[in-house]
Amino acid sequence: MLIGLWIRDVVLIEALDLSIGPGLTVLTGETGAGKSIILDALGLAVGARAEAGLVRRGAAQAAASAVFAPSPAHPVWDILEEKGLSYARDEDLVLRRTLSADGRSRAFVNDQATGVGVLKEVGEALLEVHGQHETVGLLDARTHRPMLDGFGGLEGQTGAVSQRWRGWREAQRAVEALAAEVARADAETGELTLRLAELDRMDPRQGEETELAEERAILGASEKALADIGGAREVFEGLSARVAGAARALSRAHERALLAGAAETGAAVRRLTEASAALDRVLIEAAEAEAAIDAAAEAFDFEPDRLEKAEERLFDLRGLARKLQVSVEELPGLRARFAERLHAVETSEDALRAAEAALAAAREAYLAEAGDLSAARTAAGARLAEAVMAELAPLKLDKARFRVAVTATAEDKAGPTGLDRVTFEIATNPGAPFGDLGAIASGGELARFALALKAALAGRSDGPQPLMIFDEVDQGVGGAVADAVGLRLKRLAADAQVLVVTHSPQVAARAEAHWRIAKAGEGERLRTVVEDLSAADREEEIARMLAGAEVTDAARAAARALISA
């Protein structure tokens, strides 16, 4: 709901602050008084096209602010969220725009600078304008489907179609992903098979690199120890032979000394005997040492080529790891993954076929739901056409015809709202072809047709109703037709806020609030002023509208009768 309008230096308005209430508000006044200036200023605030001519003569810039109080559930907050503008759903929404004398303008939403396009998008979510020269909102065919769905109470079905659409899209994405996976898998199969064969042949074990490295170190040390023992044995064998030779030589010397038998040799024999005994002891110790050396060599029990095999295994593992660009420790896991991958390749086609079956089922479910929605829309369109036709005759549009065209679109144009293109079409004369609203209706017909449609739609939607502005919807009609216009505007205002510029007393008499637009001053000081009329002033204004320049008692009585009707 629009609750306030602040205007500065717009055409003939110097400064104007208006508070606006719910229901039906009418603007009346003499032709040229400036009623359209109020609407121009409001259009400026909500992003309508503006020209430098709106700036009051002598002023540097024009400015207008519109203060709205949308409900917390109003879709306008989603627009602000999408545009990155800050807001609070429990606070007012202020749209503001300035226009300089050179034609440049600046736009603001809640005092945040933004583009005029954003301001216009926000404004279109908050109000509709139906006038002599334009009908903002109704001429946009994108609004027709939501209007029809709201009229027909089809929100539940549209929600179901949207859900089916999401299921279809998700199934489509699943098929595409699996198809890509199968294509990649087919390309990888040869390489995977080759790599897995290498890994199977190598058969790496977890922790094997560490075990082999440790074994290699131990075997290397053992081999060196054996070499040292062998060297020691060779040295010892030579020593034993020399000791044995020495023992034999002493034995011969001892024998010769005994044969000599000389007394002087007695001491030598004793010495030779002692030396031979010592050598005998050495030979015994040498035999024991030789046995110990042999035992030590036998303690190193391993195959002669065991070290070579361990080194060869370790080098093979490390070479394969480098080839596959992983560590040796990762080889067993890589082998398992390759095996899983090959298994997935074998089963991926089955998964793809299952996904394709699910996609076909999701498509059929969507098409069935969308088909039901299309039928419901066609039926609702017939009811809406009947309701609108019932409104046309009282509004002096009895020769016009209206229909709701629900056209099936191609499957590739399907979307979350279904398969339908919904358009409101009219034919203004018998025998004339149906066409779009903007191409057929014109002038007062367009505004009155918008009123007929809005009257037929009134109360049939649970969504928030925008501010509706009707600019001289009663142009060219009077009497019973003007009364019918006023009655329908009053009915609309029961559930929405309606602002009407009118010359018709029958329309003005239906209003909850009445503003009289007039000019004050003269010459360069001429300006537009707005009076919020009291009950008495309102009666006088309607009497003036009935009687013209001279207001008679009969006109006042007629005005009272209209107001009380």
Residue range 340-351, pLDDT digits in tens: 777 777 777 788
pLDDT of residue 557: 92
- Most confident of the ranges 313-322, 468-477, 509-518, 519-528: 509-518
Contact 80, 87 (CB under 8 A): yes
State in Å, rounded, how far the first CA of the chain is from the last one.
Answer: 27
Cα–Cα dist 467/71, whole Å: 13
* DSSP helix/strand/coil, 406: strand
- Distance separating alpha carbons of residues 174 and 180, to the nearest angstrom: 10
pTM over 0.85: no
Q: Name the DSSP class of 518.
A: E
Query: What confidence category does residue 491 fall into, taking pLDDT thresholds of 50, 70 and 90?
Result: confident
**Looking at residues 256-281, what average pLDDT do you find?**
71
In this prediction, residue 122 carries a pLDDT of: 93
What b/e readout covers 434-473, taking b as 16+ CB neighbours within 10 angstroms?
eeebeebbeebbbbbbbbbbbbbbbebbeeebbbbbbbbb
Among 90-99, 117-126, 241-250, 421-430, the range scoring the smallest mean pLDDT is 241-250
462 close to 406: Cβ distance less than 8 angstroms: no
Is the Cα dihedral 349, 354, 358, 361 positive or negative? positive
Q: Which of 23-37, 87-101, 166-180, 375-389 has the lowest mean pLDDT?
A: 23-37
Averaged pLDDT, 507-529: 85
**Residue-wise pLDDT tens digits, 179-198:** 887 787 777 777 777 777 88
pLDDT score recorded for residue 263: 47
C-alpha span between 28 and 517 (Å, rounded): 6
Percent pLDDT > 90 in the chain is 32
Q: Is the dihedral of CA 160, 162, 164, 170 positive or negative?
A: negative
Q: Can you tell me the distance from the alpha carbon of 38 to that of 7, in angstroms, rounded to the nearest whole number?
A: 8
What is the Cα 75 distance to its own chain's centre? 17
